[in-house]
Amino acid sequence: MPTYISADGLANLEEEYEKRRKETRREIADRIEQAKELGDLSENFEYHEAKEQQALNEARIMELDSMIKDTVLVEQKTGGSEISLGATFVVELNGVQKTFEMVGSNEANPLEGKISNESPLGQAFLGRGVNDAVEVEVPSGSMTYKIIEIK
């Protein structure tokens, strides 16, 4: 499954991947060695915790490796006639304007206005244009956004 991500997002993934491979692996290996020196491993909390951290780190390294290999770069789009991946757009809800950026799920951060193309909100906006009213179902009912501008 492709990972849709911006060039900045890819750089962040690659940075995390390298850090986990080079630094975090070494730190965990050192912790395991120190814990082994404490003696009986069957009741050694530090050893078991370090081994658990090692497993989690290795799983994240494999996940990052897969994501990087399957990356589809999303270019920042400007001035389009409809909302697509990479677009930044302004909507109005109850008289308040808010700016969103349509990103892949790995970069989504709703608090920063970055919404995933896979989220219900993102899917509702995809393919829509300026002046469109977009109705989105939320747990408390329904919200209607008006698209003001696609930057």
Reported as a single tens digit per residue, the pLDDT across 101-121 is: 999 988 999 999 999 999 999
Question: Model's pTM, two decimal places?
Answer: 0.70
| Structural domain spans, the chain | 3-73, 88-150
Residue 66 falls in which region: left (phi positive, over 0), alpha (psi -120 to 50) or beta = alpha
Query: What gap in Å lies between CA 100 and CA 110, rounded to an integer?
Result: 9
Helical pair 7-19 and 45-69, crossing angle rounded to 10 deg: 150
Task: Identify whether the C-beta of residue 150 lies closer than 8 Å to the C-beta of residue 85.
Answer: no
pLDDT greater than 90 at residue 2: no
pLDDT greater than 80 at residue 40: no
- Second-level CATH architecture of 88-150: Roll (3.10)
- Banded model confidence at residue 45, pLDDT cuts 50, 70, 90: confident
Q: Give me the CATH topology for the region 3-73.
A: Helix Hairpins (1.10.287)
Query: What gap in Å lies between CA 72 and CA 86, rounded to an integer?
Result: 12
